[in-house]
Amino acid sequence: MTDDQLKAVFKALSDARRLAIVRMLERDGEVCACDLLDGLGISQPTLSHHMKVLCDSGLVRCRKDSRWCHYSVDAEVARKVSATFGQLADAAGGANGASVGTEGCTCAREGSCGCGD
């Protein structure tokens, strides 16, 4: 995932309403725009704006039928975001997968990190 793609996903998720939308999609799978409107209590133009940001980020995809749009999380993009965080966690834990607070820590936080020093 490129930095620009990742930034777009983070920007999309930085808004509380968009995060709520993604949580609804996570919970319910594919959701019709009409159900999102009812569940969120927002206007149609507001929903359209939020869905545009989410779809443009790639995290959400849209399937149109004759009258409504049906939205769902793009599983592949979600996996890529998850993999990015996995790489971050691996890097934070060190090359051998060690966790923070390993033996020999000489941190100056007086034990607040859990290492015991």
What does the pLDDT look like over 82-108, one tens digit per residue? 998 888 888 888 655 444 444 555 665
Answer yes or no: is pLDDT of 74 > 90.
yes
Longest dimension (CA), the chain: 65
Model pTM score? 0.75
pLDDT at 33 over 60: yes
Cα torsion 27, 32, 35, 40 to 10°: value is 70
Sheet of 60-64: strand order equals 31-32, 69-73, 60-64
- pLDDT, tens only, 1-16: 899 999 999 999 999 9
**If you average pLDDT over residues 26-36, what whole number do you get?**
95
What is the residue-averaged pLDDT of the chain?
Answer: 86
